[in-house]
Amino acid sequence: MTPRSGGLGRGLASLIPSGTAIAAAPADIPIDRITANPYQPRKHIADDALESLAASITEHGVLQPILVNETLDGYELIAGERRLRAARLAGLTRIPAVVRQLAGREQLEVALVENIQRADLNPLEEAEAYRQLSDQFGLNQDDIARRVGRARSTVANTLRLLELAPTVQSAVRDGAISEGHARAIASVERAAEQEALLGAVVNRGLSVRQTEELARHLRHQPQPDPAGERAAEPSAEPAVTALDPEIERIETELRAALGTKVSLARSRKGGRIVIEYYDEADLTRLYEKLVGGLA
């Protein structure tokens, strides 16, 4: 995925309370006395990246100290989890660290900012960290934006990713789609339409701009009214208007397969399928997909 734009307006040092500047000389501390950061926003570190860093540490040592919180039983990691894991992998028993005493919220803020600065978080991890700052520590979006050096709109848009359908969230976490694609998909509310958009992005290789345009069409498309449409056709059988989970399932699968809006209207003896297209190129694509295999 393309790294997100918009630099932070502050560095790690500005998050450390006055009187505890991060520039103090590091000390070598025992690795086995360091426990994990309970507020770590990063959930996954690729094995190959760890192995590469461990090889570098074996050759050159740990070039940048980690940041830890001093506790009664030892130390609690604040920032530098990848370096700590790689150091363990390289067989080190001690690691350079800057030792500080920070409250829980400050630990999360520092870990979050460090990961953002290094572009180490995927968008969902960042969104989950923002939600934790809100739910656990009572910060509103303005507070979060100020603390991590983001624009408030960026924080709000990132938090919206948590409202995506689970399959779309998985695609973001796996890097199958970019954050820009995810934001465009989040602009439609129904999970079925989000999944259809996801299918279009993955199957057709849509750009973010194309995804936004397709989402706009879906948002402005009136919901089908089978009863109203059939009422205008006196000779037609009256449509069945009750909500049918099976119809919804079929619509969802057709949307995902065709990468466009598909509506089913069932009558008592049959029904019809409406497949929409948005321009001539889209019509050609659908024609080839539906008819090409029969030629």
Q: Could you give the residue numbers annotated as active site? A: 81
Cβ partners under 8 Å of residue 225, min gap 6: none
123-137 vs 166-173: helix axis angle to the nearest 10?
Answer: 120
